[in-house]
Structures are given as C-alpha cells and as structure tokens.
A = this chain, B = another copy of it.
Amino acid sequence: MEPMDLSCEEVDGLLDLADDIIARPQAYAHKCDGKKIATLFFEPSTRTRLSFEAAMLELGGSVLGFASADSSSATKGESIADTIRVVQCYADICAMRHPKEGAAKVASLYSNIPVINAGDGGHQHPTQTLTDLLTIRRLKGKIEDLTVGLCGDLKFGRTVHSLIKALTRYPHIRFVLISPQELRVPDYIREILEKEDIPFVEAERLEEVIEQLDVLYMTRVQRERFFNEEDYVRLRDSYILDMPKMELAKKDMIVLHPLPRVNEIDTEVDKDPRACYFKQVLFGKYARMALILKLLEVE
C-alpha cells in the first residue's frame, strides 16, 4: 500500500479516521484486540518502527518482528517472497523497511496480509507523507490555499518528492523550493508542477523567502552533497533554521521536519510555538493507526 496508490478521497478518509481516533482514542483502544503486526526492519529505523508498534498497541493489538537484518533469516539468503509467506502465518499485517527499492512491493505480491512500506531504498516512505498531510490539516485546518516551502536537499530527499506529489492533488497550493543549485528538485517533479499549472518558485536562500510561507518543511543538507567546499561554506547557513530567520516568518507559519534532526534546526527554535516537528511525530502515530485499521478492514 502506498498512499499515492490511494485516491484523494481515500487519503481524506484516512485523515478523517485519524481525526476521530485523536478525538476519541478510547473508542479505538480494542479495535485490534487479538491482531498482530509484524515489524520487519531489514535496516534499523527506531522512530518508524516504534511508531508502528505504538500504533498497533494503542489499537489493542500486539507486535512481533525484528529491528535489524542481523537478527533475521535474510542473512541465510532467503528471498523476500519466502520471508513474507512465512510471516503471514504469524501476523495479520506487516510493516516492512528494506534497503532495496521495491522490496515492500515484491512482498505484497506474494502476501495474503497487507504489507505497509515503512521505507525502502531511496527512502520511499509513504506513511511519512500521510503523517505530513495529517499534520498540515490538523495545524492549518485545511490542505488548500497554502504556500508550502520545502528547504534543504530537494534532490535526493524522497520524503520531499512524495509530499510535493501528494500536495498537488489539493487546490491552490503554492510551492517555494529552497535549495542550493546542485540539490534542486529533479526535473520530473518540476514537470509535474508545470503540467498541472501549480505555481512554484525556486530560491537559494531561506531567509529571502521565509516570510511568504504558511508551512516550512525542513530537511537536512549533507555537506558531501555539495560539489565544492566554497559553495558549502557560502550557503550552509541558509539551510539552518534559527531564531533570526523565524523572526522574518509569519506568526502562524508551521515548521515541520521528518526527523531525525541534526543541526539544520537550531534547538532555540524548539521553544517557538511554530515549531511543530514533535507534534508531527504524534500525528504520525495516529496516521499509522488509521492506516492499520483501514488495511485490516476493522469497523
């Protein structure tokens, strides 16, 4: 299941369900009694794994699985197809993270239980996108008529690509794409935006555009992504969100980040009420609860 396999209505249905879970958690506390999720993490990702596990536990279900490939049979040369056919004997639903692109897709072809892609090679990561949409809708009250800034590494960050694609399905979104030249969004993203007539601008410095934004989605710029040291030194501070830049922003802008954060958001910013990246973590749990419920077809 990948969110973009879902129609806009289905995504909105999931967000509505997440809203209801947030409003009435007790009503969902036993929805998955007796159900099990298998968390198959062929590469470690504590945050994502714990989010799925918390989601299932808060629905009354239970958890089994592994946190890294070292402790899995993959090391014995087993195929993904065989692994999932074994795991489906043990669990009702599965969340899989795998370094190989398309691994969760392959698993789902052989599986008679739902397989959620919890990240694969190149960081396709659909539940992150669902999380981002839920967070925006909860905090801005809508997903429309918003100016959304995405800042940092827009070339390699699949989180960013998924979010842009998802947002193009909502009305009146404007994008501000903030990155160094060498880390601009790939052409195919730019083509989508142009074809759909979705307004966007590209900028090199966050401080020059931050005042326009309703949503600022931060990602990390890794030094090794720069072509030369000079550019890195000249630009690095533009991709670090700090209080002086926050001063320039709207009073109701929200700052998101997929985490983990290293230094691209100064910890001073954490105290600002516009810093919403930890709320985003909480919404991620609710988004996953909604997805689990839907995929298990629990009423």
- Residues of chain A having any CB pair with chain B under 8 Å: 29, 34, 36, 38, 41, 44-47, 50-51, 53-54, 57-58, 62-68, 70-73, 75-79, 81-82, 85-87, 89-91, 259-262, 267, 278, 281-282, 284-285
Contact = CB atoms under 8 A, between A and B. Distances in A.
A58 to B, nearest CB: 8
Contact of A89 (B68, B82, B285): B285
Given A50-B90, A54-B64, A86-B281, 8 more contacts: A45-B73, A51-B89, A54-B90, A68-B71, A79-B267, A82-B259, A82-B260, A86-B259
Which 7 A-B pairs rank lowest in CB-CB distance, beginning with the nearest? A54-B90, A67-B71, A78-B260, A89-B282, A44-B71, A53-B64, A46-B72
A38 B267 CA distance: 24
A67 to B, nearest CB: 4
Given A36-B57, A281-B89, A46 B66 contact: yes
Contact of A82 (B71, B81, B261): B261
A64 B67 contact: no
Contacts of A51: 89-90
Contacts of A47: 73, 86
A231 B165 CA distance: 57
Nearest to A280: B89
A50 B281 contact: no
Contact of A29 (B34, B262, B278): B34
A285 B53 contact: no
B90 A262 contact: no
Given A90-B285, A281-B86, A46 B62 contact: no
Interface centre among A47, A91, A259, A262 (most CB of B within 10 A): A47
A274 B187 CA distance: 50
A168 to B, nearest CB: 29
A57 B35 CA distance: 9
A77 B263 CA distance: 10
A79 B278 CA distance: 14
A73 B260 contact: yes
Given A54-B91, A68-B70, A90-B51, A76 B278 contact: no
9 contacts: A29-B34, A36-B57, A44-B72, A57-B62, A67-B67, A67-B71, A70-B70, A77-B260, A82-B260
B62 A62 contact: yes
A262 B36 contact: no
Contacts of A262: 76-78
A70 B70 CA distance: 10
